[in-house]
């Protein structure tokens, strides 16, 4: 079966071996984050609808999961905001009912959690990883570039309401952009919010691969660790990638095809995904591993970031 809405499984830094579910076309989102690895948001929207047919997603999941694959998680992520899809609650409920052995994980940018129907749709999930990259309105707009109707205050109040009712685990993710959301003023605001939020973990992240703009820099890991200490005992840094050997899903063949392609011609992420028939997030995970291994390097060209053999 040729899956249109599933990708991976991919080795995830936090979740182990994770099958991805992508519920939006590339790229529909409520935000247009400067660090987005999927590039610029084409459809900046708040409209909740059936972006892809729910029945098709359920059919693919049933087909894939009845083969009893070895997975640590089934994760809603993909190339846009999953809670924009109006069928997300039905899909989560289906997974918990038909395949309860798999951990259901939701990555969300938190922007729609002020809606009661979105909060209740997520309730059966096992783990929700919401993002919060800014507390002040100004920094929220600079980093996340939201639809104009959204505000940081609304996001935080929706997130707080969700955390107060959700019975699964919540790991809050904060993406750090040096010089923007690590100022003493913003850190003080983060501390105030962290004190109120009922979450299991707070994790700092930073740039791995180029984002939607070229002016952002990754924060070195040692600086991230120091920042986590400043923010509080409960704050940690997202771990290193799971080692590849643990990942039965890591295909040496796909790795070799990527290397063969960029050996002939340096390519962007989109070039590679298109040429090799991979989901853009799948291709990205392989590039992460190859960058981590020091086999390839990136450089900025006319059409964006290119990957080439080192
Ligand atoms: S990082 Fe996530 S929330 Fe931000 S624009 Fe990309 S898909 Fe949307």
pLDDT per position as a tens digit, 275-288:
887 888 788 888 88
Indicate the residue among 245, 275, 301 that finishes a domain. 245
Task: Give yes or no: residues 202 and 145 share one domain.
Answer: yes
Whether 301 has a pLDDT exceeding 80, the answer reads no
Indicate the residue among 195, 217, 245 that finishes a domain. 245
Task: Give yes or no: residues 59 and 128 share one domain.
Answer: yes
pLDDT band at 235 (very low <50, low <70, confident <90, very high): very high
Q: Is 278 near ligand 1, meaning CB less than 6 Å away?
A: no
CATH number assigned to the domain comprising residue 40: 3.20.20.70
Task: Give yes or no: residues 216 and 284 share one domain.
Answer: no
CA distance 120 to 118: 5
Mean pLDDT of all residues in 248-266:
80
State pLDDT tens for residues 73-124: 999 988 899 999 999 999 999 999 999 999 999 999 999 999 999 999 999 9
The per-residue pLDDT of the chain, averaged, comes to: 90
Whether 302 has a pLDDT exceeding 80, the answer reads no
Query: Which range has the top average pLDDT, 23-37, 171-185, 252-266?
Result: 171-185
143 Cα to the center of ligand 1, angstroms:
10
Whether 245 has a pLDDT exceeding 50, the answer reads no
67 Cα to the center of ligand 1, angstroms:
31
Residue 21: inside a domain, yes or no?
yes
| Number of separate domains in the chain | 2
Residue 10: inside a domain, yes or no?
yes
Residue 1: inside a domain, yes or no?
no
Instruction: Supply the DSSP symbol for 212.
Output: S
Q: Is 28 near ligand 1, meaning CB less than 6 Å away?
A: no
Task: Give yes or no: residues 193 and 268 share one domain.
Answer: no
State pLDDT tens for residues 188-199: 999 999 999 999
Task: Give yes or no: residues 215 and 266 share one domain.
Answer: no
- Read off the tokens for 15: 């979740």
Whether the CB-CB separation of 116 and 55 falls below 8 Å is answered with no
Task: Give yes or no: residues 195 and 80 share one domain.
Answer: yes
Task: Give yes or no: residues 165 and 229 share one domain.
Answer: yes
Q: How far is CA 51 from the centre of its chain?
A: 18
CA distance 213 to 203: 23
Q: Is 38 near ligand 1, meaning CB less than 6 Å away?
A: yes
CA distance 59 to 48: 21
Whether 2 has a pLDDT exceeding 90, the answer reads no
pLDDT band at 243 (very low <50, low <70, confident <90, very high): very low
Task: Give yes or no: residues 88 and 224 share one domain.
Answer: yes
Q: Is 31 near ligand 1, meaning CB less than 6 Å away?
A: yes
Task: Give yes or no: residues 241 and 258 share one domain.
Answer: no
Task: Return the biggest CA–CA distance within the chain.
Answer: 53
Task: Give yes or no: residues 266 and 214 share one domain.
Answer: no
Task: Kindly list the distances between the CA atom of residue 140 and the CA atoms of 32, 174, 177, 277, in Å, as whole numbers in the listed order.
Answer: 11, 12, 12, 35
Which structural domain, as residue segments, surrounds residue 283? 251-310
Task: Give yes or no: residues 257 and 239 share one domain.
Answer: no
181 Cα to the center of ligand 1, angstroms:
17
CATH number assigned to the domain comprising residue 286: 1.10.10.10
Whether 215 has a pLDDT exceeding 90, the answer reads no
Q: In a 3-state reduction of DSSP, which class is residue 215?
A: coil
32 Cα to the center of ligand 1, angstroms:
6
**For ligand 1, atom 7: residue with the closest CA:** 80
Whether 303 has a pLDDT exceeding 90, the answer reads no
Q: What are phi and psi of 157, to 5 degrees?
A: -70, -35
Task: Give yes or no: residues 231 and 296 share one domain.
Answer: no
Task: Kindly list the distances between the CA atom of residue 191 and the CA atoms of 229, 279, 286, in Å, as whole numbers in the listed order.
Answer: 11, 37, 35
Indicate the residue among 245, 261, 290 that finishes a domain. 245
Residue 77: inside a domain, yes or no?
yes
**For ligand 1, atom 6: residue with the closest CA:** 36
Helices 54-65 and 88-98, axial angle in degrees (round to 10): 20
């Amino acid at each position: 079966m040729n899956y249109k809405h599933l990708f991976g499984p991919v080795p995830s830094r936090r979740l182990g071996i994770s099958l991805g579910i992508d519920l939006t076309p590339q790229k529909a989102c409520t935000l247009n984050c400067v660090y987005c690895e999927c590039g610029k948001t084409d459809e900046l929207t708040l409209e909740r609808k059936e972006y892809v047919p729910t029945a098709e997603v359920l059919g693919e999941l049933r087909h894939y999961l009845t083969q009893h694959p070895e997975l640590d998680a089934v994760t809603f992520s993909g190339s846009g905001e999953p809670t924009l899809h109006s069928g997300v609650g039905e899909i989560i409920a289906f997974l918990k009912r038909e395949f309860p052995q798999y951990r259901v994980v939701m990555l969300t940018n938190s922007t729609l959690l002020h809606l009661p129907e979105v909060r209740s749709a997520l309730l059966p999930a096992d783990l929700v990883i919401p993002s919060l990259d800014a507390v002040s309105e100004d920094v929220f707009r600079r980093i996340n570039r939201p639809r104009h109707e959204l505000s940081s205050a609304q996001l935080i109040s929706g997130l707080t309401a969700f955390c107060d009712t959700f019975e699964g685990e919540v790991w809050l993710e904060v993406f750090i952009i040096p010089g923007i959301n690590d100022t003493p003023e913003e850190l003080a605001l983060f501390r105030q919010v962290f004190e109120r939020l009922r979450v299991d973990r707070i994790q700092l992240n930073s740039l791995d691969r180029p984002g939607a703009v070229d002016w952002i820099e990754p924060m070195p890991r040692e600086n991230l660790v120091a920042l986590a200490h400043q923010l509080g005992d409960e704050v940690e840094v997202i771990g290193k990638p799971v080692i590849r050997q643990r990942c039965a899903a890591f295909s040496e063949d796909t790795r070799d095809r990527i290397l063969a392609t960029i050996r002939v011609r340096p390519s962007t992420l989109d070039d590679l995904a298109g040429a090799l028939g991979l989901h853009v997030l799948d291709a990205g995970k392989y590039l992460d591993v190859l960058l981590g291994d020091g086999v390839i390097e990136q450089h900025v060209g006319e059409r964006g970031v290119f990957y080439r053999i080192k």
